[in-house]
Chain A
Amino acid sequence: MIEIKNVTKKYGDKKAIDDVSFTIEDGDIFAFIGHNGAGKTTLIKAIMGIHDFDEGDILINGISIKSDPIACKRIMAFVPDNPETYEHMKAIDYINFICDMYDVDTETRTNNIHKYAKLFEMEDKLNDTIDSYSHGMKQKIVLIAALAHNPEILIMDEPFVGLDPKAVFDIKEVLNEMVKEGKTIFYSTHILDVAEKLCSKVGIIKNGKLIKVGKMKDIKGDKSLEKVFIELEEEK
């Protein structure tokens, strides 16, 4: 469970996140949407403990990211918007490195690496250095590394960018499987039709303020998510 309580993050005098509060329960897939520069990545980085924030608190399964960031990070996994990795490493070495950071035992990591590498059709490419990969392949490696340690909470910043349709389908399957196991997924996206079909909850952020949050069906009603989003964006 992720509890975001009155979080404010300032860059100088400008509030990138302004008093944002909401909760994501176990088993939720939460879509976080907003225009470019609305504050999505800033909030995601605050949840992951990558950036500090000025006010409020974020609780991960009841633990504050401020007071015990290591304990919080141990149960989360992060997929950034740009698959920045250690380019000169072999993919398998990179995944092993991430697993080492999470203290994943050899058996679990072996099973998960084989499982997800097979799913994303990367099994015979893990021995190559990452700098030889396309953007989509790098994204797949980051995903495999994120999933290899069985995270309870998966945080993703625009995860579908640069992926082929088969990979997008496979990720959706993986996410559905995780939700069935009671895990929590939080992701930001601009692909609203995927979010509409996949997510149980949605939050819309505009200029750092959360303007709508709730169950997907309550937020969109009879309209499409895209229409709701555009209407909200056009409101002053």
Chain B
Amino acid sequence: MKKIISLIKACMTSDMGIFKINLRNRSKMSKILIIVFLCFALMTGIGSYVCAVLEQLKPFNMQYVCLSIFVLFISFMTLIEGIYKSGNLLYNCKDDQLLFSLPIDKKAILFIRMFKFYVFELAFNSLFLIPLIVCYAFYTKVGISFYITSIFMILLLPIIPIVLSCIIGTIISWLSSKFRFKNIAQTIIAVIFILGVFYLSFNVDKLLSKLATNAKSINDIITKLYYPAGAYANLAIDFKIQDLLLFVFINVIVAIMSIFLLSKVYFKINSKLQSVKVGKKKKVKSSVIKNRGQIKALIRKEFNIFFQTPVFIINAGMGIVLFLIFVFMIMFKYNSVLSALASSGVDIAYVSNNIALYIVMIIAIGSFTTSITSSMISLEGRKYTILRSLPISSKRILLSKVYTASLLTIPAFLVGDILLFIKFKPSFIIMILLLILTVLMPLVSHFTGLIINLKFPKLEYDSPTEVVKQSVSAFASVMLDFIILIALVYGLMKLMNHNILLILSLLTLLFTIIDIILYIYLAKRGTKIFNELTV
């Protein structure tokens, strides 16, 4: 036990370094305050959404449904994220050599890896669960038992999705270990798994109707669909200590069993993943050696990092892929979407009149859900020293990262634009403004991501997943993008039925100004921060 505590302490100290509060250090305090503010803003946003849902459910006295649905949603998100994170978090970590050389059980090493995963998900899930609990307590008469149950729920709800994703992550790692190009194999297999989960979740109609026929209540259906979601609602309505203990017992058993089972294959898969197959020996062709110029070479290097880091590809790629799927759905299913809207009382003419603003929203969703630059500085890691020793300005290094992110996102968004233009045939001037916005909006996300990463760099890490998905920078960047997106969508909804051309012109002007300010900040202050980084 002493060993485990020492291991947890050692592994967590480096990860949580930023949260060591030092009141004398103003810069550190301001960074903490930024994070606290972003968390607060997100929780307020979630809380207001929960309140709106509870308001609708209150007349029917069915507030508990909100608990179940939110738990289902959070668990599903944790599972999806976990599928592509777990392989990299559990296997092929930088401190493998150190940990495997120590006289400790493999189960302890696996436990440490899963524990780090758990701590992050616990923090992430809390951002959703705390507003849910507070709003539920506000709308429903609750006793002390509800709060006790909720504390247990916050602590235990991440366990099952984490265990499931670790099992899937292990299967992905095992499959990819059989290939020569393991990273590419891992990316492809993980994408197949994630799309599979999406497909299953969109096709649960039959399962739901089967559950509904035998169920006594909505909560009964949810309990049968996903036990923890239903259990929380049941405990909130009718608290029984034995039910709570059963819930705790099930989660603890699941966690212990998963560590026990996965540890059987953990070392074997890890060893296989670390073995590198070398190609046939051959001399380099002269044509390979050529001068490309600094910026091109830097972009090539960034692309190499991107395509060799599965979690990076999936994290950025999923946003782009989902954006394109969304656009294709609008292209080919627009009429059925419209008739569904009409049947639910939405004015179709209103939608058609404001279609340009809906297109802006779609582009904004694509732009502000594809976070790429927020981990690009951190991913340099110890190689930062190489970059700084080279005769190239820091501004060029930073801009090459923005160019790379733009090359990865903007072409896909432009394709989406063209498809939407074919479908809706807006006027020429509106098309031009939309195209400009398609370039300007992702740039805002890329600039802010990079600036946030400069403020919260994590140059020492055990696995790229830690910086791409679990770093303060990635978190803050996602939060900021989310806030911008919410504000933009809210603003656009309020501006519907006004002069579209004027709105688009003002938006273009606004994003141009924001991009210029961010560019100047990055070029002046950003380069200074970059130069002062230490490894």
Contacts and interface: CB of A to CB of B under 8 A. Distances in A.
A86 B305 contact: yes
Interface stretch (A102-110, A160-168, A197-205, A211-219): A102-110
Contacts of A109: 289, 291
Given A101-B391, A123-B284, A129 B276 contact: yes
A100 B292 contact: yes
A177 interface: no
A126 interface: yes
Contacts of A38: none
A129 B308 CA distance: 11
Nearest to B275: A132
Interface in A105-121: 105-106, 109-110, 113, 117
B385 A52 contact: no
Interface centre among B296, B381, B392, B532 (most CB of A within 10 A): B392
Nearest to B528: A52
Contacts of A132: 276-278
Contact of B278 (A52, A74, A82, A128): A128
Contacts of B389: 48-50, 73, 76, 78, 80
Given A84-B385, A86-B304, A101-B391, 16 more contacts: A48-B388, A51-B534, A73-B389, A73-B391, A76-B389, A86-B305, A96-B288, A96-B292, A97-B297, A100-B291, A100-B297, A103-B294, A106-B290, A123-B284, A124-B282, A124-B283
B282 A127 contact: yes
Given A49-B389, A99-B291, A123 B383 contact: no
The 4 nearest A-B residue pairs measured at CB: A100-B297, A88-B308, A73-B391, A78-B389
Interface residues of B, number: 38
Contacts of B345: none
Given A123-B284, A129-B276, A80 B386 contact: yes
B393 A106 contact: no
Contacts of A76: 389
Interface in B335-389: 381-383, 385-386, 388-389
A127 B382 CA distance: 23
B183 interface: yes
Interface of A: 45, 48-52, 70-74, 76, 78, 80, 82, 84-86, 88-89, 92-93, 96-106, 109-110, 113, 117, 123-129, 131-132
Given A89-B304, A123-B283, A132-B278, A110 B297 contact: no
B26 interface: no
Given A101-B391, A113-B284, A123-B283, A106 B289 contact: yes
Given A48-B389, A132-B278, A88 B305 contact: yes
B531 interface: yes
B91 to A, nearest CB: 15
Given A51-B534, A84-B383, A96 B390 contact: no
Contacts of A86: 301, 304-305, 383
Contact of B304 (A70, A93, A102, A123): A93
A162 B511 CA distance: 52
Contacts of A51: 534
Contacts of B381: 84
Interface string B279-314: 101111010111111101100110011001000000
B534 to A, nearest CB: 7
A85 B383 contact: yes
9 contacts: A78-B389, A84-B383, A84-B385, A85-B386, A86-B301, A89-B304, A99-B291, A110-B286, A124-B282
Interface centre among A89, A104, A127, A129 (most CB of B within 10 A): A127
B281 A124 contact: yes
A205 to B, nearest CB: 20
B304 A50 contact: no
Contact of A52 (B284, B383, B532): B532
Contacts of A102: 390-391
Contacts of B292: 96, 100
A127 B284 contact: yes
A124 B294 CA distance: 27
A125 B292 CA distance: 22
A85 B388 CA distance: 13
Contacts of A84: 381-383, 385-386
B515 to A, nearest CB: 26
B265 to A, nearest CB: 23
Nearest to B286: A110
A88 B381 CA distance: 14
Contacts of B308: 88
Contacts of B390: 73, 98, 101-102
Contacts of A45: 385
Nearest to A118: B283
Given A101-B392, A132-B276, A89 B301 contact: yes
A76 B393 CA distance: 15
A100 B240 CA distance: 69
A50 B389 CA distance: 6
Contacts of B281: 124-125
Nearest to A96: B289
Contacts of B385: 45, 50, 80, 84
A131 B391 CA distance: 25
A106 B285 CA distance: 13
A56 B198 CA distance: 61
A106 B291 contact: yes
A132 B385 CA distance: 22
Contacts of A124: 281-283
A110 B392 CA distance: 22
B308 to A, nearest CB: 4
A96 B289 CA distance: 7
Interface in B144-184: 183
A123 B286 CA distance: 12
Contact of A101 (B288, B294, B304, B531): B294
Interface in B386-418: 386, 388-393
A70 B293 contact: no
Contacts of B532: 52
A115 to B, nearest CB: 12
Nearest to B280: A127
B383 A101 contact: no
A78 to B, nearest CB: 4
